[in-house]
Amino acid sequence: MRSISQNRFIDTHCHGIPQVDDGVQSEESALLLLSHAIESQISLIFMTPHIIYNGKFFTAKSLLETKLEHLRALAKTNKLDIELKLSCEIMMNEDGLRYIQEGNYWGYQDTNYVLIEFMPPFDEVLITESLYELHRQGKRAIIAHPERYFSDPKIAIKTVKVWRSLGASFQVNKTSLFVNPKASTREVALALIEHNLISLIATDAHHAPGRREARLLEAHQELTRLFDQHTADTLCIDNPTHLSLNEAFVSTNVSQAWFTTHLRHHRFKRKS
């Protein structure tokens, strides 16, 4: 097993480019976000600004590349040793599907992975067509934070299994591993992990300072506490590395008795 001091994390979901979406809004906040990421042993961040085609956030890739290059220069000037790459988080609505069908989109830099999200209530036809089209083009779809889409773990597990059968992989936000204002979010996240349906943990960082910072060390520690180090390594280190190298993900191997046991002890039951 790896020692925790040797872990080097990769953050695959982060809104750290200033003033392009609802993420960080200043260079000072962006630099603080990068500083905290380094403290948390993150060596590479894929910046994933929201892309809502014909919507609120619709920044051209060329402008994002220019802004990211400026952020790299700022990081170097401030002696922040961290690698930054470009991706995006695509909202899959009818416009998003059309742009994907036309090939007017991009995914994770130097890979064929693409980060997407949906907005409940779900249009199952749209989801099926979106995943089919990405698969047809040789892309590997990653659905962001599925734990936020459901309030019932059983429905979440059933639906995510269907989406997985269509070729999708899944990323859980690190904040969802901890107690938060919406209790069902943690319950669903842990249930999906227990059923070996999650491939990645990422920060989905939007600001610094604050709760949604670019920190992964605490997520690795919590996964180790709740499950085991192999699960923590797979979700926080191994699969993010596979993504960066454009390699296939590996599965976790969590015993499905875990979540049932915790429910029986009333640790994650919702209040009636």
Digit-coded pLDDT (tens) for 104-124: 999 999 999 999 999 888 899
Distance CA(259)–CA(187), nearest Å, equals 9
Mean pLDDT across the stretch 134-157? 97
- Contact between 146 and 160 (Cβ < 8 Å): yes
pLDDT in tens, 51-82: 999 989 999 999 999 999 999 999 999 999 99
pLDDT digits (tens, 9 = 90+) for 6-54: 558 999 999 999 999 999 999 999 999 999 999 999 999 999 999 999 9
Q: Which fold has domain 7-264?
A: TIM Barrel (3.20.20)
